[in-house]
Each structure stands twice: as C-alpha cells, then as structure tokens.
Structure 1
Amino acid sequence: MMIDDDPELEYSSLCEEVRREGTTVKLQIFRLKGSTDGWSLEVVDHKDGSTVWEDLFATDQEARDEFYRTLELEGIHSFAEDRPSESLH
C-alpha cells in the first residue's frame, strides 16, 4: 500500500516565467489547496535552484508585487546565480 504524503497545492493564476537580461526564472505562487493561511512565493531558476520567501502573503497579488519589488532592487541574477566552481556540500 502506498501512502501519498505530498499535500495538494493550489497555484495562482499569477504564476509566470520572467525573462530579463537573458535569464529566465519561474515565478510560482501557491498555497495548500483549500487553505486560507496565505500564499507562498518561490522563484525557480533554469537549474531548478529555488528561492523561497519565509513569510506568507495575504493575497497572491501581494506575493507577485514582492517578487517584482525584489527583481527591481536586486536584479534577476539574485534569483539565478551561476556559480559552477562553488559546491554546497
């Protein structure tokens, strides 16, 4: 018997791919299906590296706005850094 422990997620219609300066990242805004606890914000780069905000957002629009604020302040490379010589082990 197989038990599925993965919670079911609900994704916002505001999820999108964002391309700047030749780099593309995926903006993912989601929450547990049926939850009213708030929306999670995650940005995934081309190597499946992930940046996740610790705080939840009241609305998916607030999460999207925070992503774009960070994008304007820090640039897209803050989400998708290529460090081929660096190991995280």
Structure 2
Amino acid sequence: MPKDEQQYEFSEFSGEFVDDEGSVFLRIYRPAGTNLDWMLEVLDEEENTTVWDGTFDTDRDAFEEFLATVERDGIRTFSDQPVQKLH
C-alpha cells in the first residue's frame, strides 16, 4: 500500500440501513488517527454515492443528519438522485 494512501476510521454508526422502502449502506468516517470532523456518505443498492458537502463535529451528528434526511425525504431519495451533495 502506498504511503500516501489515506486510511480512515469508520464510526460504529456505519453499516447497512434498511426500512420499508429499501436499503442503503451508510458510511461515517474521518482520517484515521485524527480528531478531524466526520464525513457522511450513503451508497444505494446500485452503489451510487450521495455525499454531504459539510462535515460533522461528531459521528452521532452525522448519523442524526442521515436519519433526518430519511424522515424528511425517504430512503429512496438516495437512489432517485445519487451523487448529490447535501447539507
């Protein structure tokens, strides 16, 4: 592995999220070994990616933003409009 390849720490909130409308894979991460803010990314069943522009102070904040988006727009929003930037 090249020395310049970034390693990431993944939050315990990362993983598959399933509801009645479908499923997505949630990734909440930051550069390993740092105290930098957390990034939020969602992959749909077709592996299309939705990434938030901003970062989050805590992994819980990122997870709550994800939940709020699902509550407001539904889980299908990630497969209907992939590769968007939110937040």
**Coarse TM-score class (shorter-chain normalised):** 0.7 to 0.9
- For the structure 1 residues 43 and 7, does the alpha-carbon distance in structure 2 shift closer, same or farther, using more than 3 Å as the test? same
Runs of 4 or more off by more than 4 Å in structure 1? none
The answer to whether 1:48 aligns with 2:47 is yes
Deviations 1:55-89 (A, max 9, x none): 1100000000000000000000101228xxxxxxx
Counterparts of 1:1-89 in structure 2 under 5 Å?
A: 3-81=2-80
| CA distance in structure 2 between the partners assigned to 1:23 and 1:4 by the alignment | 38
Letter in 2 for 1:12: S
Query: RMSD of the TM alignment (CA)?
Result: 1.7
Contact 1:23 1:80 in 2 (8 A): no
Q: Which runs of 5+ in 2 are unaligned?
A: 82-87
TM-score, structure 1 length as denominator? 0.82
More strand by share: 2
- For the structure 1 residues 55 and 35, does the alpha-carbon distance in structure 2 shift closer, same or farther, using more than 3 Å as the test? same
The structure having more radius of gyration, on CA atoms, is 1
Q: Which runs of 5+ in 1 are unaligned?
A: 83-89
Q: Which moved more, 1:54-63 or 1:3-12?
A: 3-12
- Corresponding position of 1:86: none
| CA distance in structure 2 between the partners assigned to 1:3 and 1:33 by the alignment | 15
Identity of aligned residues (%): 36
Q: Secondary structure at the match of 1:79?
A: helix
